[in-house]
Structure 1
Amino acid sequence: MADVTLTDGDDRRHRHGSSRSAGGHHDDGRRDDGRHSSDSKALAAAVATPGPRKITMREAVGFGIGDFYGGGQLTISATYLTLFWTRFCGMDIGTAQTVVGLSAIISAFAALLFGVFDDNLYRYPIGRRFGRRRLMLLVTSPLILTGILLWIPGLPLGVYFAAYALWVVLGQSFATGYNPLPGEMTPDFNGRTTLSTTRLFISTGAGTLIPLAGSAVLAVFGETRPGGYMAFTITTTVLFALAVFAAWRFTWEMTPEEAGFGAYARGEIRDGHIGLAGWWRRALKVLREYATTLRVAVFRKHLAIYLLVQVSMDVFGQTFVFFVVYNWNHTAAFASLLLGCLAISLPLMPLFGIGMTRLGPRRMYAINFAGCLSGLAWLFAAWMLAGTMPDVGWTVFAVAGAVWFFAFKALCGYLPWAVFPYIADVDQIVTGRYRSATFSGIQSSFRQLCSGLATIAVGAVLSFVGFDSTRAAQTPEARIGLGAVLLGWFAFAMIVCWIISSRLTIDKRTDGIVLNEITRLRNGGSKADVEPETRRVVESLTGLPYERCWR
């Protein structure tokens, strides 16, 4: 585990003299630095630093292709894994949900280790040779193929548990390296929005195409035999590994100097043997490092929204097929077809990006949650009308409701990730360091911990109400319990998120104010000369008095 405390010299050098300066100034900023080069050797070095790489659609697609795995692996496991295990691997619903939940809790602890480890990889030769973020992608890519074991019937329960635990841990390894890349590749708000929009477009495309392809395969091979599931899921797993490799190939990250590790890159500082006591001290530093992320006010709000949204989508994904089969009395293939209605969000992705830039996260969240709540009411109405309307009319009504709901569900997935790159900017005005992987690590840890507990709770609730996936039909109590878990929890989460998001103040304008203030302070500006508006924005986003920032 890496030491999480940078030296004072490293703190001063962090992103100082970088072509991707905190304020996002490019050539003009470097010319300004050149006029004052006598003040600092670091500023003199900045003059010689080449300009930042422009984010074009080619670069955006090269980055975004990685989220074919990031979004797709959640879709394929949430949609088909519990169904496959209960039908062909001898598990009951409670056992399957427990395996999924315990694995998520394991991955929560793995995320904590990955976060600080990844942020500090530049301290070691392997990180300086292969990178911090991209090394995680390179290692994850071939290991993804172990997920094939999840789709082979007849294996012992322990094998399924170990394979799935590794599968979700690999997801954390990927996320730790992948999520910080927009902030690493460019400081520009529009460039980051382009990367996030492209990423979410591909992720949503994966979430759309996987159920559609699964529906087609099951229609051909049948739902009562494992062969169709196996052919489809194993092929998709191979494509996941290739997508992560492609993301490694076509992305870049900050240099050690830009990230604040110049002394390590030059060999001026080396980490030697530290012994057991030294590792214990580092472990405590890791915990303190994570604890400090929670003092940033905007991150606490973002984290609450993110957790509620992600856990709700996990629960929805795990129960939607069962809901369609037993509450709507339709097939798993029809459920997969409905999940394909997520395709409606693909042409909307550019509008999401425009809305993010022009309206800001707070207004976009309000639109999002209102749309989701109305969509949930539509799905509930389809449940109540099942069997009472003519088949054709009901099918049209249900598909229309699914199209409406999945359009806003996609926005649920988009907005937290569009906001995330700016969290580390706000933290930087407090700590002077760019700790995006640390934020990603604690966010992923809480996400997996909450998801694991929610998954176990779902299994317990469904078992309590008498749900049995091996039956052709369920009792009325089981159907009501299933509907309450699927629709009730999602509605509750959306209402709470709407309340929290109404107080979210991060947007393009406030992020720009923070970045400009960071640039001013790095260039020797006095904290006493801060503008009143800047002070107000910094205190609002950090939740700290301005005097406690940039210490």
Structure 2
Amino acid sequence: MKKQRKQNWVYTPKKITVKRGIGFGLTDLMGGGWNNIVSGVIFAFVMSQGISPALAGAITGIGRIFDALFSLFFGAITDNFYRTKLGQRFGRRHFFILLGGILFTIVFPLFWVRSDNWLYYLFVYIAIELIIAMILIPWETLPTEMTNDYNLRTVLSGSRMFISATGTAIVFLVLAALKHSNNPNAYLVTGIIWTIIFVVAIFVSYRSTWERPLTPEFLKELNSRPKLSFGQFMKQTVNDYFSTFKNKAFRQHLMIYLLSFTGKDFYSTLLPTFIICTIQGAKGDLPWTLQALSIFGILSTLAAARLMVTHGPKFLYSLSYSTIIVTMFGYVLTWMFNIKNPIIILIIISIFYQLARGILEFTPWNVFPFIPDVDRIMTRRDRSGIYAAVMTFFRKSTGAVASWIAGILLAEIGFNSKTMTTYGTTPHGIQLGINVIFFVGPVVLILWALLLSLKFKLNRQTHEVLKKEIERLENGGAKADVTQEAKKVVEELTGESYEKVWPDNPDL
């Protein structure tokens, strides 16, 4: 059995290069693309079928609540799947990536079929979300599985976010092209094209990555954990998830991540309605053309990969968030001054927004692979799957809130998706309401994230100190021999006194 494991490609580490990083990151063609489909396309697509904004928002809202609950436990399932024969043969992470990819191929195109029944979209949407969670949660743990080196993890995560930005651009470029051609089946054809691109990406990524080898030492660590009944497993999982909030760096990271991404969701959800219904002279393909400018996010992602190493996440947060706030003022002022032929102005504003959005999406997921190391010194356990599941759970919950609230607020101001379909058919009072919702949601959330990011301490320098301290303790070093620098960094990142970290009993 041990010999077979050594020969299994899924447990065979390889040299991490930019090419290998791109292979890992390809799954985020789907991950980044899907998140932008949820926030920027589904709401508009469902309303185009004559379904009210409140129900259109409810589809993603209800669906993501189901998905969030599923995601809450799925990370722990992948952490422990090594105990099964399937997990040992295919990998505790890779098995679910493979299964999810097959299911995605079958289910995803079904959402883009025309229907006036919102329940149809709800049920298909829930199925898609669960399948995608089955792929993304184990995939998100792979940088931690593949290496413990900061720079190599940055290569992996940086490649991932570059690919994510590419996925966002592909999503909107394809849709904008088909909308511009007035194709009556634009959404269905686009859905099929998306499926092909995403599935190819998933399977390339599946074969380009590996997991931490099941060495005798690692198996001893894993098997030292007690086998639990289903009830005990559920209880421990909930306890594990709540325990992640003892990690100060993770608390800060999670709040910054959720606030900024939810602000982005408000923007993407409401941009089509804002453009089509409040901007004079806007055509039906303009929102998707502006969203397709997300291709500029690829450029900012490349720059951010360098700045992440030289300046750290705090600098990137400040640059991104301040730029987004300025662009939101630009959008609303374009409407207030009732500018004729505003397309050039909107394109310029959108380019700056997309450059900032690329950094916004890049930074949290480049920070994330180092969060389990903070947990490692707190618990002496390998819990990257749990952290990925908590991140996914709360991200999907807040994403649901953004789309749902947007739909409810549009309904409250009297917006009618059947009659108010262009600038000329939308009364001025309704236009004002749309602008207020479109502006206030993103600006308040992004500003809050900006203020929190100024206190964030995890970066390349502090992680290097943390990693060396973990290595010292793993090699039998005494806690009493800690340096003042290491003690300060550990306490700043964990939020615990040094005496409480690296417990004698890892299961406590």
| Structural mapping, 1:80-159, within 5 Å | 80-88=41-49, 90-145=50-105, 146-154=107-115, 156-159=117-120
CA gap of 1:399–1:55, structure 2 versus 1, over 3 A, is same
| CA-to-aligned-CA distance 1:497-530 (integer Å, 9 cap, x gap) | 1111111000001001111111110110000000
CA gap of 1:413–1:70, structure 2 versus 1, over 3 A, is same
Letter of the aligned partner of 1:251 in structure 2?
T
Distance 2:474 2:221 in 1: 18
On the 8 A contact 1:53/1:186 being kept in 2, the answer is no
Find out whether 1:183 has 2:144 as its counterpart. Answer: yes
What residue is the counterpart of 1:333 in the other structure?
A: 285
Find out whether 1:430 has 2:381 as its counterpart. Answer: no
Distance 2:482 2:149 in 1: 23
Task: Give how far 1:156 is off.
Answer: 4.2
What residue is the counterpart of 2:189 in the other structure?
A: 231
What residue is the counterpart of 2:3 in the other structure?
A: none
CA gap of 1:155–1:467, structure 2 versus 1, over 3 A, is closer
Letter of the aligned partner of 2:270 in structure 1?
T
Distance 2:366 2:108 in 1: 29
TM-score, length basis structure 2: 0.92
Distance 2:445 2:217 in 1: 37
What residue is the counterpart of 2:329 in the other structure?
A: 377
What residue is the counterpart of 2:240 in the other structure?
A: 289
CA gap of 1:171–1:481, structure 2 versus 1, over 3 A, is farther
| Structural mapping, 1:98-497, within 5 Å | 98-145=58-105, 146-154=107-115, 156-222=117-183, 225=184, 227-257=185-215, 260-262=218-220, 278-329=229-280, 330-386=282-338, 388-389=339-340, 391=341, 394-471=342-419, 472=421, 473-497=425-449
Gaps of 5+ in 1: 1-49
CA gap of 1:395–1:159, structure 2 versus 1, over 3 A, is closer
| CA-to-aligned-CA distance 1:231-282 (integer Å, 9 cap, x gap) | 11122123212211111111111123389334778xx9995xx7xxx32122
CA gap of 1:290–1:269, structure 2 versus 1, over 3 A, is closer
Task: Give how far 1:120 is off.
Answer: 1.4
Distance 1:169 1:482 in 2: 32
Letter of the aligned partner of 1:467 in structure 2?
F
Letter of the aligned partner of 1:337 in structure 2?
T
On the 8 A contact 2:55/2:118 being kept in 1, the answer is no
CA gap of 1:308–1:113, structure 2 versus 1, over 3 A, is same
Letter of the aligned partner of 1:325 in structure 2?
I
CA gap of 1:171–1:316, structure 2 versus 1, over 3 A, is farther
Letter of the aligned partner of 2:322 in structure 1?
A
Task: Give how far 1:337 is off.
Answer: 0.8
Q: Secondary structure at the match of 1:489?
A: helix
Distance 1:65 1:469 in 2: 36
CA gap of 1:527–1:344, structure 2 versus 1, over 3 A, is same
Letter of the aligned partner of 1:234 in structure 2?
I
On the 8 A contact 1:259/1:434 being kept in 2, the answer is no
On the 8 A contact 1:466/1:477 being kept in 2, the answer is no
Distance 2:427 2:495 in 1: 51
Deviates more, 1:470-479 or 1:319-328: 470-479
| Structural mapping, 1:55-70, within 5 Å | 55-70=16-31
Task: Give how far 1:51 is off.
Answer: 10
Q: Secondary structure at the match of 2:285?
A: helix
On the 8 A contact 2:39/2:403 being kept in 1, the answer is no
The correspondence for 1:535, drawn from 481, 484, 487, is 487
Find out whether 1:548 has 2:497 as its counterpart. Answer: no
Task: Give how far 1:82 is off.
Answer: 2.3
Q: Secondary structure at the match of 1:367?
A: helix
CA gap of 1:264–1:505, structure 2 versus 1, over 3 A, is closer
Distance 1:509 1:154 in 2: 54
What residue is the counterpart of 1:19 in the other structure?
A: none
Distance 1:485 1:237 in 2: 32
Distance 1:270 1:412 in 2: 40
Distance 2:312 2:130 in 1: 33
Q: Secondary structure at the match of 2:130?
A: helix
Gaps of 5+ in 2: 1-10, 504-508
On the 8 A contact 2:38/2:60 being kept in 1, the answer is no
Aligned residues: 488
What residue is the counterpart of 1:38 in the other structure?
A: none
What is the percent sequence identity of the aligned residues? 26
What residue is the counterpart of 2:506 in the other structure?
A: none
Between structure 1 and structure 2, the one with the greater Rg is 1
Distance 2:405 2:452 in 1: 24
Task: Give how far 1:155 is off.
Answer: 6.7
Letter of the aligned partner of 2:59 in structure 1?
V
RMSD in angstroms over aligned alpha carbons? Answer: 2.1
| CA-to-aligned-CA distance 1:162-202 (integer Å, 9 cap, x gap) | 11011112222222111111111111111111111111111
On the 8 A contact 2:40/2:265 being kept in 1, the answer is no
Task: Give how far 1:544 is off.
Answer: 0.3
Task: Give how far 1:395 is off.
Answer: 2.1
Letter of the aligned partner of 1:401 in structure 2?
I
